[in-house]
Structure 1
Amino acid sequence: MLPSQGDAVDALNPGIELTEADRIDRMRLIRSDNVGPRTFRSLVDHFGTARAALERLPELARRGGAARSGRITSVDEAKAELAAARRLGVNWLAPGEDGYPARLATLDDAPPLLAVRGDHATAMRPTIAIVGSRNASGAGLKFAGQLARELGEAGFVIISGLARGVDQAAHRTSIASGTVAVLAGGHDCIYPPEHENLLADILEQRGAAISEMPLGHEPRARDFPRRNRLISGASLGVVVVEAAHRSGSLITARMAAEQGREVFAVPGSPLDPRAAGTNDLIKQGATLVTEAADIINAVQPIMERPIMFPAGEDDSEPLEGDPQSHDRAQITGLLGPTPVTIDDLVRMSGAPPSIVRTVLLELELAGRLERHGGGLVALL
């Protein structure tokens, strides 16, 4: 029996509901040029609302060196996207709204709006991710299904990426108990296409599907790591069943570790290259899994603690209204194509963190800055 999630959900102030005007403003901001989830959060934290942030985008981009303002999504475009989603049965939800996975909402780069289709209650339940090789062995597929079934019987929802192989086995075995598919593209662009029927079965059986991509977005290679952070971020922990070296499942495991999630790995034969990545994870400290009880025992203590928003880097210092030109020039001069940490920029520039973060925000809105994992930034 799972512990009550009441206290955990209360920590995220559930039951909030955006007004339609707020939802439109959020959609406009996240769809505008050079605004990603972290930038969205910085802007709204500083200016108070998405609408106020939208009004300041041209000025901030100009200060960052943009020759002209980036494109700002119009009210009509945002309304049209929201209406098209609703016709497909998709709701765009903000963190804290019913149907937005509680643990996903705690990430620094949580989607400001998440497209949720299916049963909202399933998306909110305690979740374990199961991922692995697309060309998994028969034994790997069987064990992934066994884990999914036993975890489902224990009350957990299984979350995965709707991919071939291990993902497919995990979803199919947990349809009856509850499963969530995380999409790399829009809700109308299912990949791989042959899994459209699998997704239909998931939704028919009170499962759910989530994505941060707009309708009509065909998934590209760079979209899968973005999807993977949603898989790990929404879960208590990530189980890797089979993964070769350089597998995308290892990216999910790395993101899980960075997000403070549990990482589990199923051992395999040293002679099977499909087990090389999972065996390495165990060497690096991942919890070895031979049965569902290994996972359940590890996550039970976590579930007994309330879910709280972490103090992210953007919350530690406010933004500066308008940095001096010499500060802007010094910080920009320290940047290059090689990623550096924001802490290093603060140390090397001698400028207050608020000024450094403001300059970085200006550069990003001007299309001149790229953010990497682990708080790294680089100049484009």
Structure 2
Amino acid sequence: MSPAGISLSESQRIAWLRLIRSDNVGPATFRELINHCGSAENALDMLPELAKRGGAMKRIRVASLAEAEAEMQTAERYGGRFVAIGEADYPPALRAIDGAPPLLAMCGSGETATRPTLGIVGARNASVAGAKFAAMIATAAAGAGYTIASGLARGIDAAAHHASLKHGTLAALAGGLDHIYPSENTDLYRRICAEGGVAISEMPYGWEPRARDFPRRNRLIAGCSLAVVVVEAAMRSGSLITARLANESGRLVLAVPGSPLDPRAQGCNGLIKQGAMIICSPDDVLEALAPLANMELPFSGNADEENEPESGPPAEPGEDDRLRIAEALGPSPCEIDDLIRFTGVEAATVQLILLELDLAGRLVRHPGGRISLS
């Protein structure tokens, strides 16, 4: 895995936090802004003008210095900190996914966050047998040196966390690290952070999790993990979202089979039909993990300040180029390379126009790097 290579100064960390908390700035947009503007500080200055060029109807909200400093103080009060992509405590496997979070809120052991990791997910309404088997897998893998990642939910998640507490477990949260969900697992969360484990979130402190935030949480679990084990899962469950995201990131998906009469087994049985590896014992998991532990994951090219461009930004696109790109785009997702070939506009110019549209709230980013107009 790519070694950590940067360490932000305090002013850079605040600028990164301001940038990722500003309107219409997600991980992919953050990366493009750093690449185009040279630094987070420059990007903050250029945000309003870039959004205006993209057709924004009102001035974009840029997170203020006071807001960023207040969130950093809140993090410190809760025993947390912010870790940037490429820094020593950032999970190496997460760094390799497309659109990795540029900044993570983290509480607990950075060493636990950087070990080879196994994700274990499953049903909230787990059976006794399912929870026991999840704990068996977690105990065996944690004892073999793997960090166990899960989502702090009831059922399978909680069983996996409890079983791996003494070796170090990773909890990914859908809300801020000061909003533990479900509240019944607050004591478990505190033990994780205090006893050698680690908790992470890409959401702001003070953020109460909503239903649409949980797929982002699932993305963190999948991204941190070399492989994901699904123990019990109903059809259309969050665990299957985690499995899909793991598969899209090139991670191994493992599934525990179950009775066709149990709705909690339908998702796992479906994964096996689709090609997931069958898991019938903890040894099966360890055998599957063995060749992955030292695997070099491809780096996704996410921005870091170590690689800021030395040259200045490209010239502002002409209105003809902007019109050509806007006309070529539509509600159906397309590949950026196809857009470049179709329009004949230079790649750097296309990227800048897409950045402007994104900041104006007019661009939709889809899995696999595809885009469309909103």
Provide the TM-score with structure 1 as the length reference: 0.92
Map of 1:211 onto structure 2: 201
Map of 1:64 onto structure 2: 54
8 A Cα contact 2:31 2:302, kept in partner = no
State the Cα distance separating 1:320 from its structure 2 match: 5.0
Question: Aligned equivalents of 2:137 and 2:280: distance in 1?
Answer: 9
8 A Cα contact 2:228 2:252, kept in partner = yes
Q: Paired residue for 1:354, among 318, 328, 348?
A: 348
Structure 2, unaligned runs of 5 or more: none
Map of 2:245 onto structure 1: 255
Map of 1:277 onto structure 2: 267
Map of 2:142 onto structure 1: 152
* 1:117 counterpart SS class: strand
**In the alignment, does 2:100 pair up with 1:110?**
yes
8 A Cα contact 1:100 1:116, kept in partner = no
Question: Aligned equivalents of 1:27 and 1:35: distance in 2?
Answer: 11
Question: Deviations along 1:244-280, whole A, 9 cap, x unmatched?
Answer: 1111111111111111111111111122221111111
State the Cα distance separating 1:311 from its structure 2 match: 4.7
Question: Aligned equivalents of 1:67 and 1:170: distance in 2?
Answer: 48
Q: Paired residue for 1:323, among 278, 299, 317?
A: 317
1:358–1:266 distance in 2 versus 1, CA, 3 Å? same
* 2:91 counterpart SS class: coil
1:312–1:89 distance in 2 versus 1, CA, 3 Å? closer
Question: Aligned equivalents of 1:164 and 1:325: distance in 2?
Answer: 53
Query: Any residues of structure 2 matched to 1:289-328 within 5 Å, and which?
Result: 289-311=279-301, 320-328=314-322
Letter in 1 for 2:4: N
**In the alignment, does 2:260 pair up with 1:266?**
no
Q: Paired residue for 2:41, among 46, 51, 68?
A: 51
Letter in 2 for 1:341: E
* 1:59 counterpart SS class: helix
State the Cα distance separating 1:307 from its structure 2 match: 4.4
1:161–1:343 distance in 2 versus 1, CA, 3 Å? same
Question: Deviations along 1:13-52, whole A, 9 cap, x unmatched?
Answer: 35x3211110011011111110001100111122221111
Query: Any residues of structure 2 matched to 1:1-380 within 5 Å, and which?
Result: 8=1, 11-14=2-5, 16-311=6-301, 320-380=314-374
1:154–1:39 distance in 2 versus 1, CA, 3 Å? same
State the Cα distance separating 1:145 from its structure 2 match: 0.9
- The structure whose RCO (Cα within 8 Å, separation 6+) is larger is 2
State the Cα distance separating 1:336 from its structure 2 match: 2.8
Question: Aligned equivalents of 1:12 and 1:63: distance in 2?
Answer: 38
RMSD: 2.1
1:13–1:198 distance in 2 versus 1, CA, 3 Å? closer
Question: Aligned equivalents of 2:345 and 2:286: distance in 1?
Answer: 47
Question: Deviations along 1:345-374, whole A, 9 cap, x unmatched?
Answer: 234333333333222111110111121222
Letter in 1 for 2:99: D
Question: Aligned equivalents of 1:202 and 1:41: distance in 2?
Answer: 31
Q: How many positions carry a matched residue from both structures?
A: 369
* 2:171 counterpart SS class: strand
State the Cα distance separating 1:56 from its structure 2 match: 1.5
8 A Cα contact 2:340 2:350, kept in partner = yes
1:252–1:321 distance in 2 versus 1, CA, 3 Å? farther
Structure 1, unaligned runs of 5 or more: 1-7
8 A Cα contact 2:151 2:172, kept in partner = yes
Provide the TM-score with structure 2 as the length reference: 0.93
- Which of structure 1's runs of 4+ aligned residues deviate more than 6 A? none
Question: Aligned equivalents of 1:371 and 1:87: distance in 2?
Answer: 35
Question: Aligned equivalents of 1:253 and 1:122: distance in 2?
Answer: 22
Question: Deviations along 1:107-146, whole A, 9 cap, x unmatched?
Answer: 2311111011011111111110000111122221111111
State the Cα distance separating 1:176 from its structure 2 match: 1.1
Question: Deviations along 1:145-193, whole A, 9 cap, x unmatched?
Answer: 1111111111111000001111111111111121111010001111111
